[in-house]
Amino acid sequence: MKMSTDDKYRIAVLEKQIADGDLDAMMAFAQAYHCDFPEYVTPDIARKMVTCYETCLNAGNLTAALNLGAMYYSGEFIPRNFRKAIRYYEQATQSDDTETQLRAWTNLGYCYYYGRDIPVDDEKAFNCYMRAAVQRDANALYKVGDMYRYGRYVAKDEQLALIFYRQALREIYENHPMYADVTKRIGECALYGIGMEKDVYTALKMLARAEVATYVKIRERDPFAASLLPKIKKMLDEARSQVESALGLDPS
């Protein structure tokens, strides 16, 4: 997002308020760069963001802990440090703000699921995901689906996995950050008959949506999105080829 003249003025006002010790201004400043203007973050601004979040956290704002965890997890603005991310996520799970708490449980689940500088622990991952999934958090729902699909901690159940994927899709909108991940999984299930009868038309539709949504995630600087694109494109090519073959179309 390009920073407009009004945005620059707003940032300047926030910086003046920060100098006066305004905690709300500190959160607004850090979140503005974190979410809206990441391309404008310099090393100095990154350090100021961390200072603002830490000051707010010390004052009891646990959303600041969630955001610090995200910074250390992604490594986009500061050196990646998964152990610090885990510590901040654990703090954020105690938030009274529902959205903050759900995101913290889900993010903590990722750390245990993938073993981010800690041993993989499927039981802890499942329990973290389920804490958020029962409150219909889309990210947690599709990750619980993954655990049933591959039989990690729970008995393998592809039909139940698909139920979780579909429930996740009901909870999101087309521009949601998890839209690509969820549609990719449902498309994959339809293409290969995982938990359902094979349906190449559904596969084509879902994988096409996943491809576009992944480009959006890459544009928005998601550090993990680019690695998904080749897999989605490969499956999309398979689905398109099967549809065209079924219709008797000349692939040339």
Virtual CA dihedral for 36, 89, 163, 202, nearest 10 degrees?
Answer: 30
Task: Tell whether 42 is covered by a domain.
Answer: yes
Task: Tell whether 24 is covered by a domain.
Answer: yes
Residue 177 has a pLDDT of 86
Task: Tell whether 236 is covered by a domain.
Answer: no
Task: Tell whether 6 is covered by a domain.
Answer: yes
Residue 140 has a pLDDT of 97
| Rounded Cα distance, 220 and 206, in Å | 21
Residue 251 has a pLDDT of 62
Expressed as residue numbers, the domain containing 39 is: 1-60
Of 54, 140, 47, 145, the residue nearest 102 (C-alpha): 140
Which residue is listed with tokens 């299930």?
189
Residue 76 has a pLDDT of 87
Residues 130, 173, 139: CA angle, nearest 5 degrees: 20
**Band of the pLDDT at 179, cuts 50, 70, 90?**
very high
**Band of the pLDDT at 250, cuts 50, 70, 90?**
confident
Q: Would the pLDDT of 252 be above 70?
A: no
Q: How many domains does one find in the chain?
A: 1
Of 36-40, 126-130, 160-164, least confident by mean pLDDT is 36-40
Task: Tell whether 221 is covered by a domain.
Answer: no
What's the rounded mean pLDDT across residues 45-51? 96
